[in-house]
Amino acid sequence: MENQVNSFPLIGDKMPEMQVQTTHGMQNIPGDYKGKWIVLFSHPADFTPVCTTEFVSFAKRNDEFKALNAELIGLSVDQVFSHIKWVEWIKEHLDVEIPFPVIADPLGKVAMSMGMIHPGKGSDTTRAVFIIDTEGIIRIILFYPQEIGRNIDEILRSLKALQVHVKHGVALPANWPNNELIGARVIIPPAKSEADAKERLKNNEGYDWWFVHKEI
């Protein structure tokens, strides 16, 4: 992997089509998931404590992701047999079934193409999260260091918020749906003309014409 470039896709980029080996067999990503949202997440290594806690948390919320038309896909640079044995260990010792596929990327091709290799830590992958929409477009990118486990509820919240934005064309406030100022209300896009600005507060609630919100 020394001669490969650790590239970094951007929000709004098309996810490159990849054929990958997973614990559920060979898959084409994102092609096999067209019409569904994807939450692609990498972990540093199998049989490690923090990664194990994350996999359990993802598994316990799998039905919530599916209810949002989203599929979970894990990834690390481990071999597929390591993934399979780790998944078996989690089932046997923690009584948790891992229902989603895990990509085996021993050559680091996927990890490199997605900017998942942790700088300064050899070939291990970061704790990256890519939320990809039904058309294969990357919509959210989250990165965590190896030492910090992810908040799976925040990933779920981010997906819900993004889907509200896509459906209604609105913005979402901090901590939505529990924002300190407007609760679960959403923010109407800013005015595009002086006339529109003058009418904003006549027809909507808000603090000023540039900060107008509504229920959905």
Residues carrying an active site annotation: 51
What CA dihedral angle connects 37, 21, 149 and 15, to 10 degrees?
-40
Helices 49-60/152-168 angle, 10° precision? 40
Q: Partners of 125 in the beta sheet?
A: 117
Radius of gyration of the chain (CA): 20
Q: Crossing angle, helix 80-94 and helix 49-60, to 10 degrees?
A: 70
